[in-house]
Structure 1
Amino acid sequence: MTMNASNERAAMRGDEHFFRTMGMFLALLVIAGFGFNIGGGWVSLAEFPVLIFVHAAVFMLWIGLFIVQPTLIGRNNVALHRRVGWAGVVLALLMVWLGWEASIDMMRRRTDFRDGVTLSIQMSTMVMFALLVFAAIALRRRSDWHRRLMLCATIILTAPAVARLMPLWLGPFTLLVILGILAGLMAVGLAHDRRRHGRFHPAYWWGMAVLVLGTAVMIPVGLWGPVQGYVKGIEWR
């Protein structure tokens, strides 16, 4: 083993507790968000199609994988970490596809969600997630970038759960509050790096940039003529 490889693995193992803890927190956030809707009687499990349960299962598998991966690094099982990581590629593709299908299904069943902005918000979230995941895959040999971009992607993936925790009186400010919460979770990563490594890692700035730009285009894209036309087409099927 070369000295560089040894140093890289030591650095990865040094942060595994932080990434595992963040994964557990995000899992609790997702459970709280969707559990609040179900427990509060806003939605009924009986009205959900099988597609939604499959989507939820893949969602939790993704977060479970995010928790397992740093655990493998902590146990110095880098080879298994890499093999399991390819399962993450499959899950990421499934998440994007199932996210699209679940959004369309929701719009068909609920007339109050049949608008271009709602579709744009759902799809923009999936696009941001996909961009960061595949950037992380491209940088998989640079472990410091890889794991931080994966964290940013997973934080963005929790946006629907965070939205379900927002009070109705926020109205048009809901999107900004969600943006602030997600950016704040990324800032936790910045603070951890500053405390442990003495510097801010740029991966989080890239994650925040994707989050801010993606959020900024949600409403304009949703009001765009072709998107509105597509939604009207769904409504009349």
Structure 2
Amino acid sequence: MVSSSDLHALGVFLDEKLHGARVRARIQFVEADEKPTIRFYRDDTKSVVDRRIRAVCHPGGVVVESPQAVLGVFGSFFSNLYSRAAVSEDLQEDLLSGIDKAPPESKNDSLGSNLSVGELWTAVAAMKKGKSPARCLRDRTFWEVLGGDLRDVFATAFQLNYMSQTQRVGNIVLLPKSGDPLDPRNRRPITLLNVDYKILAKALGNRLSDVMPDIVGPLQTCAVRGKCIQHNLWLMKT
């Protein structure tokens, strides 16, 4: 006879599997209590197959299909789109001169010091479950072996002002938008970064959060934890 605990464990397993299928299949509209079905896993597999871009329209109006030509079109398009624009140093200086807030000098030493193993562990432990890093990286025993080496890698990167090759590389995925799929403008690039880079970014963000109250004003709502930019609309109505 199946016990209630076994049924509960099975339900948790199916819910996690269903959630993964929903994410991978990019299903936009789904009932919260909908159960795993063949359709979910068919859409999941179909999503993986459809990620391959088989053709794209060249700026000259010619549709190209070879992988090399498709890569060349997107490489040229996004290189031009995200190329660095000319910056006026005088205008930049005028903008920065108007900023009168800065972290207190008493916190400068802590902000500039090397990251500790404890800070890196806090960053790892705060990452969402079911995503990278893997469960083994969250294990304390494994972390005691890896944590010190990772701290030294980051310290060396800051000392040399140069990160390792894997920390400077990402895998770009082009997600389709609505519109003509042959138009490169209808693709949204998402860069998948390596885990060590994410750990570093999270740890630095945690450290900066300690001085944010000294820099960010109380009325700012965008990019502030616990606040939402829509709060500005509520303030305007009151």
| TM-score between the two structures when normalised by the length of structure 1 | 0.24
Q: Could you say which structure has the greater relative contact order, defined with CA pairs below 8 angstroms and 6 or more residues apart?
A: 1
Greater strand content: 2
Greater Rg over alpha carbons, structure = 2
